[in-house]
Amino acid sequence: MSAKKPNYLLSILSMNCPRCRKGKLFKNYSAYNFKHTFDMHEECPVCKQKYNMEPGFWYGTGYVSYALAVAFSVATFIAWWVLIGISVSDNRVLWWLLTNSILLIVLQPVLMRLSRTIYVYFFVKYDEHYETNEPRKFDY
Ligand SMILES: [Zn+2]
- pLDDT for res 137: 76
Separation of 30 CA from ligand 1 center, angstroms? 20
- pLDDT for res 85: 94
- pLDDT for res 136: 77
Separation of 91 CA from ligand 1 center, angstroms? 49
Separation of 99 CA from ligand 1 center, angstroms? 37
Separation of 88 CA from ligand 1 center, angstroms? 51
**3 pLDDT more than 90:** no
Separation of 12 CA from ligand 1 center, angstroms? 13
Task: State the average pLDDT over residues 87-115.
Answer: 95
Separation of 28 CA from ligand 1 center, angstroms? 16
pTM for the structure as a whole: 0.88
Task: State the average pLDDT over residues 111-119.
Answer: 96
Most distant CA atoms of the chain, gap in Å: 64
- pLDDT for res 140: 47
**7 pLDDT more than 70:** yes
Instruction: Give the tens place of pLDDT for each residue, 35-92.
Output: 999 999 999 999 999 998 888 899 999 999 999 999 999 999 999 999 999 988 999 9
Separation of 95 CA from ligand 1 center, angstroms? 43
- pLDDT for res 130: 93
Domain ranges for the chain? 8-123
